[in-house]
Chains A and B, each alone.
Chain A
Amino acid sequence: MRATPGEGGRPILRRTWHAPLVATLLLWAATAHAAADRALAAAPVRPEGTAISRLAKKLGQDVGSSGAEAPLGVYVRGQAPELARGFGTLLMSELAARRLGPIAVEAHDEAAAEVAARSAGARSLLRLTVQIENGLLSARGDLLGVWVNFWSGRAATRPSRPAAALEGSADADAHALALAAASLATPPEVGPLRLIGATFAHLASRPAAIAAGDLDGDGRDEVAALTDEELFLFSPEGKLLARHEHRALPNSDAPCREPFGAVSIQRSPPRIAYFSAQRSRGEQLSLERGGLRPAGQLDEAPLFAAAEAPLTGTLTPGSNTFDPKVIVGGKLAVFLKSPFTSLSGHRHAAGTYLFVWPDGTGALLKGAAELWRAGGFGAGSALADFEGDGQLELLVSSVKYAIEPDELRAISLAALEPSAKSAARGDLSSYAPAWQGTALRGRVLEATAADLDGDGADEVVLGVWLADGTGELQVFRRAP
């Protein structure tokens, strides 16, 4: 039995019979993810392959066992053409491996697809609709025979076989989400937002803090997630790039009983800075040769990596807040009235920051000046530019302590711009949201804007606490 990191920073005791499993995972990870610093032991848990490839494989198996006859026409339509084409390509590869002779059928609807398949010489036809809904990539449709008996004459009667109704789904991931939203490359449409969410990564314990930033300079943001024991770095697609245990840092004399801390990713020099509430010091890390290397310790918590100068603060001992002093570039920049829960900034709003307090109050400050203040902010709130038009939105989680799944609202920042002398804006619930929905599951305790696909429009990555004590990162982006 060994102690491994567990919920709330306390060691979880695991039995030695886990050793073979761990060894197997290590072997798998070493071959599958050679770039990773160390092989995956137990977490984060991530299914093999992308969501699209997993779903294509499942549907391929189902079609193979449904008596489809070659050549098989394949007609796939979907939420976004890119998603449908991508899924169709992988599905036809699966079907070809099963010697079903797939033929891509282009048609404007299902009835036309039947005619097109027949004229293309197919003996059976697979018609599927693929979409992302409620965090699932799903495909639904049917399999039918299109071969016409000579004795039927001109009437296109269907044979009795094959005939099957098909359905399958897989947890959507950032890859599927990117394909679903590929039409965002076109200029953003004006109007209410529509956000769709997917699972970005699973974590064995609850996230204490998350951050996004372009660490490798490819124009797309990586995502860092801090837990009570480790720091994880994910690629824009949600693949684990590296992980780093922070047990070597001295323990805090007054740890927080729940996962809490700060993490930021700065571009120049490329560094990840973090400070866990379980430790008395923070640390800077650099990504070298696929691994995270220590690059110095920190006395202050990295709150936000602003382009001009990093914002730092101090963890309140034993608590899940930061002390009211915020330091910018080594100088006291803001002295708030009370400890705060979270701080969020954005590259489009230099010097402007959203603060959230434990009582659910949020305020937008430019320098030390308060632009507005309102109630109704959950801890998982962030500034983001979903439409890539330079106009910021607020994504806010619920102020409710126990809610499953958490509620999310996106509100245009313009709606909260000061129009009166008072900075007080009442409660966010009195403002019409540009979008309202829920997380895929769990409680949202952290949020950060991230440009995962380099298109200039933001996605928002959420740090989610699940009821079973594990955690999850979810990504929400604008739907086409």
Chain B
Amino acid sequence: MTRAWAIVALAVLLPASSHAGSRGRFGGRLNLALALRQNELDPLWADTPSEAALMGLLSRGVCRLDRARGPQGVLASEMSRASPTHLKLTVRPNLRFDQGLPVSAKEVAASWMRLFSPSTPTPYRALLFPLRGEGRQLELSATSKYTLELATAFPWPDLERSLCHPSLSVTDARTGRLHGVGPFRPTGEPGTFAANLSFPEGRPYADSLTVTATDERGAARLLSLKRAHVALGGADDGTASGAPALYATYLAFRKERVGQDFRAAVEAGIDRVDLTRYFVRAPAVAMPHLLPPALHPGAEAPRPPAWKGSAGAPREVTLLYDQTLEDQRAVAERLQLKLHERGYRVALRGVSRQALRQAWAKGDYELLMHSLLLPPAPAPALAVAIEAAGRHELLGVHLPGLGAIAEQSARDARARELSDSLLFELELVPLYAQGLRVTVAPELLGLSVDPQGLPALDSAFLQEGGP
């Protein structure tokens, strides 16, 4: 990769020497190269950072997190609390999905109800667990055309931040097709999107967007040929990215099927730093805790239970992984090798993400790899991890205590402590966390990365603007 390309840092990337008349310039066509094997645009499945970034161009949630990780309304014009257990959310009037149907409070509730559908099982449903009835009666919360009255079973100050998570992006549940409200809208031509002039946060700078799905090398090549302005998930050129690594991968196991000493065998066999260095795409960091280092900074590595060695015949187990994620496959193969040395004969089985989540929901697995885009707040992130471990009942045990801590930093600290204490109780081995590599051409200005680690492509503009 040439020096001409710059890597996006967490803060706004603003080449100081670029001329733009000092304001952002509207117009032009933004070309995006995406290292992605599969264009998954359902918010419930689109949780790799590349997919979430692309999905966010077409479908947004009621709010987003600002630089201080506070919620800012997007589809919601107001979020206010009458009491610690009551959040009133006002949906902006006159919003329309990209196919033209109107958006009201009822549509928002229906979209979120998909998290509880048996056909779309997802650990992100833990984000709505604090709602009364665990959120399963969300449709009743639409008290008027544009008002959602969300009642929680216990105080949960992180509810607003949870609602900003990409998995809760609002899509039209009526049509069965994924229509949303985003800064861009489909044109009908594959890979081409047009600016949504009525997007509530303001139309994007670019008039249109073209997306080319390719692999890492292809993305880098498109950039070098000046056929792309930005590449998401491009090849690693050795430079570090400042985006927070919140895409966390865990190994889930069923103790009754793999044995009591399985965790000790895994911990003795794997070197997480090796995984991030040789087997998964950068930017990646080793994750010895339930929460990624971005949410649990400076924590000492936990001491895992000692492995006492294998005895008897090798135990045969099957590891399910997401066949669309090459990183998972590579790590699965590494685990296969390392566990073999410790008395496990591991069969690998790649399945679709939907099938993987179905297996998880039914508990129908021995070993399973989970990759989840965690919210950038320790308490909601811990809730998702607990749900991913299949310990739904623990949410009711631990979340009320966390929610009772009104002060945010104290609550975050308590969530970290709790994650440490639950580490060896949950049937979940944290492995690594990844961020999104974003490479931009010099003529693209104003691109920022949000606290979720996703690039806000609607904020980027071309130096020369449009015609």
Contact = CB atoms under 8 A, between A and B. Distances in A.
Contacts of A253: 94, 197-198
Interface stretch (A38-46, A296-304, A397-405): A397-405
12 contacts: A2-B81, A3-B79, A13-B160, A257-B459, A258-B202, A359-B19, A398-B22, A400-B20, A401-B23, A401-B24, A402-B16, A469-B66
B17 interface: yes
A341 B198 CA distance: 21
A402 B15 contact: yes
Contacts of B81: 1-2, 15-16
B78 A378 contact: no
Interface residues of A, number: 47
Contacts of A317: 197
Interface stretch (A149-157, A184-192, A318-326): A318-326
B18 interface: yes
A232 interface: no
Interface in A370-420: 377-380, 397-403, 406
Contacts of A444: 22
A contacts with B: majority SS: loop
B330 interface: no
Nearest to A260: B23
Nearest to B72: A10
B325 interface: no
A107 to B, nearest CB: 48
Given A1-B160, A3-B73, A8 B80 contact: no
A358 B28 CA distance: 13
Contacts, number: 143
Contacts of B94: 253
B465 A8 contact: no
Given A257-B203, A318-B203, A379 B23 contact: yes
B465 A359 contact: yes
Interface string B339-383: 000000000000000000000000000000000000000000000
Given A12-B72, A13-B70, A403 B79 contact: no
Interface of B: 12, 14-26, 63, 66-67, 70-74, 76-81, 87, 94, 157, 160, 195, 197-198, 200-205, 406, 445-446, 458-459, 464-465
Contacts of B458: 257
Nearest to B80: A2
A222 interface: no
Contacts of B72: 6-7, 10-13
Interface in A330-378: 341, 356-360, 377-378
Nearest to A400: B16
A256 B19 CA distance: 21
B12 A257 contact: no
A445 interface: yes
A7 B448 CA distance: 15
B202 A8 contact: yes
Nearest to B458: A257
B164 to A, nearest CB: 10
Contacts of B25: 358-359
A1 B16 CA distance: 38
A254 interface: yes
A342 to B, nearest CB: 9
- Top-5 shortest CB links A-B: A257-B202, A402-B14, A378-B22, A318-B203, A401-B20
